[in-house]
Structure 1
């Protein structure tokens, strides 16, 4: 028997209900997966507080090792996203998560700088494709006018990882400080790999590749969502071949802007605990709790900025303002010196600007790319931009060692963020703000 709800057209109000249903069904688990991903990517920032002295590593060694993750990421990201587009998100995301969990745990065996570099490189290879894969996945479920809010929810995972990871990492380093089995930083890598492993297995059961396969959507809802996506894709850019793709100047402009954005993101992700420590604190548990505050403040800002950008169709303006505010906060966090309270306040401003800018950015390429071009474009922009994930920690570490002034690296990061805030205006508004 056919139900009326399965045959009747979905109106505007009902369409809104469909996207709310999709949001609540797929986004919480996606956010959980990204929390696991980001925690394993940046927990090295907390391990640094003890790992460097135990192994005799300098800031320059740490910065190079933290950043070489993104070299592996760079080489394997586009192929990974193209495979995901072909075989489906469910199987490929599960493969990514299980492999990076294993490699992240293996970091506990590091003894030399070379071993540190190798395991960080392999972690980048394993994780390549996760973030752009999820962003591509969201284009299968949300049209551009609804995607800003979804991306905002997705990028809440970064501050959530900070809110959870800061206190958790501080607690592990403190609680296992007297362990006779392993050093506390080794326990950190082992224990924080477990959630990613479990979530990777759960992906196979909980993730649905496309709306047409969702048993929790009616036939009418599946048709409405599919037709909305297909109609939007018809007006987007698709490239006939690789040459046409590589010659699209707007893609390269977005790569440059994203590079500046990522300089800021990993400036704060890899160095936030050290900035707080340099302000005068030494207790790792307290540093862990204070490290959570900037991320906690960023959560409502990310959501609100995504809603506002969708409403006013002004992603470029919102992005410019957010990144500039983040740059000011980041620069001031170094300027205030030994004042712990002011340093944390400045880091709150920096995190809110940097992280809201991140979700705002990804509304731009997904607004005008479709199909294979979207798969390759999102991955390409992400992998080129994420080279800044190598440049940022290495640049800050090198400047710290060379100048003997930890503020200089922070100022350099802030300047590059302002460059990105200005450069985004080179992207045509008819593409970015639609």
Structure 2
């Protein structure tokens, strides 16, 4: 049941009741030198048992398997995560139904991925997802994101474009007054339009029109589940982004210009820690670290943008503009150091290596957008402030925060113990920077 390769480091258990698919995926992953298949399974009971025996870092599973062919794969992976916290999960499915993704991600997205089977042969999407969840990251097929953002899809089943627009607003949960404002009419007129729309759908449903029945069912499901979908989507996209996209209906590639403060943190000496650490324990530490950083950032109105290896990137002032983005970013940076100190104390008691952080802050104009391709979509900010924050964190010793001059100028209260550094060139820039350094904290 086990295939061991000395040059591989991420252990994987693979589950699918279809032996052709299972062996095809096994052969695909065998080409990746850093992945090791340590077990296979074909149903719920076997998957849980194999995972208990092999203790893999990642489980790759189908959704529907024996005995009932419902959601055994997801249920088994949930059980495995209870028994072995930190195990990464990749669900392979032929269904682009967001309900399955919602079930999978009901307790958070960290360490979970949901991919469609008919697209895993494109590039190295599956291998990338395995690597991502092994270190606490997540991945979701863009078609699932699209389904969550657009719970009611347009069609031409007997409704006019005007009725289609009205149906979409109802599914979004817009109240009558909001609908009236969009349609530039009175609330009474909007209410009449809604009554007429439901009468049309009800008449079609009574006559047995499949389109009308389907629309009533979809509308009901959209209204009932929209909040749940929004919550799950918000676990996959940075804080506030899901709500903003749902409210504005913005598409991939549409940008907006914002002035923000970017925070970039990095673990000092991480490569040395990783060299000597057990990979599964290290993945658990990374997950705990990211969770602590996430809470500190969100507490001060920040948006966690991405995790890149041992680095954490956050932005303040996006997706919603904020006049206090520089102050919030500095407060969050100090809270990040404090949170990591608290986590370190627990690790010291367990005999685990501690993480020491260096943090950089930079303020400037950025373009914010939902960017990506068919393989992956993510909310991003692009601009010099992003690059500079990464360079500034390199100037920070453990426990320090290094702040750009524009950020310093925007602070309402400037730390009295800050040190103004001499101007110097940093990699990738033609203009010298003269930042301020605070700490160690």
Calculate the TM-score normalised by the size of structure 2.
0.28
Whichever of the two has the greater Rg, that structure is: 2
| Higher normalized contact order (CA 8 Å, seq sep 6+, divided by chain length) | 1
Calculate the TM-score normalised by the size of structure 1.
0.29
More helix by share: 1
